[in-house]
Amino acid sequence: MNDDVPHDIGYVLGNGPSRDRSRTRYEGVTYGCNSIHTEMGVDVLVCMDTWYQFEVIASGYPAKHKCLFGGYNPIPIDIPPESLNPPHYDIHYYNPKDREFADNWYYYATSAADYEKAKKENYALSYWKPDCGYVCYIPEGYKIKEIDYGVIPIEDLRPPSGAYALQEALKSGHDKIEVFGFDSIAGVFSTSSQLAYKEHDSGDETIIQSRLDKWMSFYKTVTEQFTDIEIIWHKET
């Protein structure tokens, strides 16, 4: 973290409309989620989804900025990706130009069933294919660590990056936390949550409410552990 900024206040920044995109400076320690790295640097960037972690790595952002990734388990460079990819799977190299600078690589895969589900629910990425493994090279010195999951369990519905960003801020010793851009908990979906979950497009209010209730439970679990810290939730004006 930057020692030149005040430590008594932390800012947790989501990607919803209540975060002013024209504001890129905060007088405190900043914790951001997912796509915020394309707009500004934050002291700690939190990403839960592997496909998004690939984007962050390939952008070069972790060369200068601390990142916390969910499920982060890099593989040493001396283990060839082909040795771990299932024999009948294709392999896609996400950032091959970084191979010569890498000391680790990162991997996930989509089975045929995964791919068909993603296509049907409209969240398949452009480079995804059925029965394919994906490799992202991690240049040496990148500032990436696995998230400390703390009090938030990993369940069928993965907790959002925002919940872990908030938890990281709360346990870092700030007197006050201000939260911007967390509009999905009020029913306004941000770009990140829209891409990850398309059910709300169907207009099924039951599905929407069920997901929001679950997400709210994650935030409630976190905040109940830190009742002595003031949290200010900003809403879109």
The alpha carbon dihedral of 72, 73, 79, 84 has a sign of negative
Q: Predicted confidence band at 19 (pLDDT cuts at 50, 70, 90)?
A: confident
Q: What is the pTM of this model?
A: 0.85
| b/e map 25-41, b = 16+ CB within 10 Å | ebebbbbbbbbbbeeee
What is the domain partition of the chain in residue ranges? 1-48+147-237, 74-143
The least confident of 40-54, 107-121, 195-209 is 195-209
| pLDDT reading at 70 higher than 60 | yes
pLDDT band with cut points at 50, 70 and 90 for residue 207:
low
- Mean pLDDT on 79-102: 96
Tell me the sheet residues that pair with 139.
102
For 200-203, the CB contacts below 8 A with 24+ separation are 201/122
Mean pLDDT of all residues in 19-43: 91
**Residues 6+ away with beta carbon under 8 Å from 224:** none
Rounded (10°) angle between helices 205-223 and 161-170: 20
